[in-house]
Amino acid sequence: MGTTNDDTPLLTFANNPTVYNTTGAQILTTDTQFIVASVSKLFTAYAMKLLSNKVAPTDRVTKFIPELLHLKGQPVRYDGIASTNWSSISIEALLTHLSGITSDLGDSDIDNTPGNHSALGLPPHDATDSGTQCGAASNPYQRACTEADFLNDWGRKFPVYAPYTTLVYSNMGFAILGLVIGRVTGSSYAQFMQKAVFDPLGLDHSSVDHPLNLNGTFITQQTADGDLSEGFLAPSGAIYSTSSDLYNFGRSILASKQLPSTTTRAWLKPKAFTSSAGTFVGEVWEIAAGTDLTAASDGHIVHVYTKGGNLNLYSSIIALVPDYDFAFALTSAGSETGSGTVEAASSQVLDAIVPALEAANKAAAKERFAGTYSAGGNRITLPVDEEPGLLVTKFSVNGVESVIDAVGEFTANASPGQTELRLYPTDLAEGATMAWQGVFDSIPADVAEVENQAFFWADATCQSWSELTTNSYGLAPLDQFLLTATVMAMGGMWRSLLGLGGLL
């Protein structure tokens, strides 16, 4: 784990198990390969971003795979219940699990599991009604599915919901995206990932569908040969990687090494809600909103963008925290690990590291920005406290002793001393000059708490996003602050000068 600001990770850790398969690695390092299961979906989504000049999120999947409209076994005439409405399923719908299609082809079909099915009240099958014999590596009674299996058998699968109704986790959706990658590039999924992702990013210990070297791969005692081939489902769950490669992949996303920064910012956003108030889904991302990772009173909601994966006894996770440019990766395997284990470990890591990152950021901000700046009759004081952003305690311009009080009175009829001003970074910069967004708040915390009780949603009075730059002067914003960083000769320290909306 670490940040994009440091080439050296903050911490690396490897634990050697006492029980293992002698076919594979016996001494583990951060460069030991594991199958990372559904973390593979993150690589597939990333590949789609790289192909944005050829594939748009709004493109219908039938543009690239027209055979979907005529799948074997699909009703000849459209059936609103039995037919998948492929013409309405976009690339974005597949990326966000909003396509409405079910998760797998044969994995959950109990035809493939020995047992007395009639005991469940099920009638016997004839030859035309039987399920497919393919599935995933997690089922020992099945072989890996092929593209031909999908085209021959998926037509008999019912959709779960109409597209964009609600979330349905779908492995098959990402297998289909793998087909799209192949159609638009003319390469296999494995070839494209190697050429476009692994090689450029230096992910030298990552591979598709098969480990690079069994001696460098951890194999559980329960896995015979360590080769958990997923076949056609490889884009959904069959990338082999290491904690080191996953970490560096996460850092490359945060740093926009291959993607435009605008694309990265757009990608790191939620797209759909879950039944939990604290979790959301993006284009592949499983997003958690941490409300108490920083100081309890600061109101800072920390969004953690994750992708986890579980297959047989293998569990992995990658987590990104854009607010701190922080990346974390964990690979695990064995009977004592699982999705709950890696998620619990991730929570423990974030509980410990986020307060430290917050403290480090505040210390850096204090060193770089805190102080009183004056020029002529203009003066501003910027301390750093426990709350988010930079607090402005004194601000006088052109003879007006307290601009903060003046703005509060002008915009909210606030009394003197009632309005607070804080500055927040905007990612807007030109050379050494950075733009900061000022937010004036004229509602005292105790008053806001009372007013919030009148609404059915939390923090209802926090509406600053709808009030930014609503006031200007000569079309220049009155709440934008420009800080120009300069390097002083002694010790390379940073200090800043400040201007208001280009007016000062």
Domains of the chain (ranges, CATH numbers): 2-118+128-359 (3.40.710.10), 370-500 (no CATH)
Q: Which residues of the chain have pLDDT under 50?
A: 488-499, 501-504
Cβ(318)–Cβ(42) below 8 Å: yes
Q: What is the largest CA-CA distance in the chain?
A: 91
Give the C-alpha separation, 287 to 274, whole Å: 10
Q: Map tokens 């039995």 to a residue.
A: 82
pLDDT score recorded for residue 191: 98
For 278-294, letters b (16+ CB in 10 Å) and e give eebbbbbbbbbebeebb
List Cβ neighbours of 431 (8 Å cut-off, separation of 6 or more): none
**Residue of 316, 251, 343 lying closest to 32 (CA atoms):** 316
For residue 442, the model assigns a pLDDT of: 87
Residue 201 Cα to chain centre, angstroms: 18
For the stretch 84-111, pLDDT in tens is 999 999 999 999 999 999 998 876 677 7
The H or E element that residue 286 is part of is strand 286-290
Angle between helical axes of 243-254 and 40-50 (0-180°, round to 10): 40
Tokens standing for residue 114? 């020995």
Alpha-carbon distance of 452 to 84, in angstroms, equals 44
Please check whether residue 266 is in contact with residue 427, taking contact to mean a CB–CB distance below 8 angstroms. Answer: no
**Distance between CA atoms of residues 257 and 196, nearest Å:** 12
**Per-residue pLDDT at 87:** 95
Give buried/exposed letters for 65-79 (b at 16+ CB in 10 A, else e): beebeebeebeeeee
How many Cβ atoms sit within 10 Å of the Cβ of residue 341?
15
| pTM of the predicted model over 0.85 | yes
> What burial class does residue 8 get, using C-beta atoms within 10 Å of its C-beta: 0-12 exposed, 13-18 middle, 19+ buried?
exposed
CA 273 to chain centre: 14
Contact 95, 178 (CB under 8 A): no
CA distance 474 to 101: 54
> Per residue in 363-382, pLDDT tens?
988 888 888 888 777 888 99
> DSSP alpha helices (H): ranges in 39-117?
40-50, 91-95
Say what the pLDDT of residue 338 is: 66
At 431 the pLDDT is 87
Give the whole-angstrom CA distance, residue 256 versus residue 243.
20
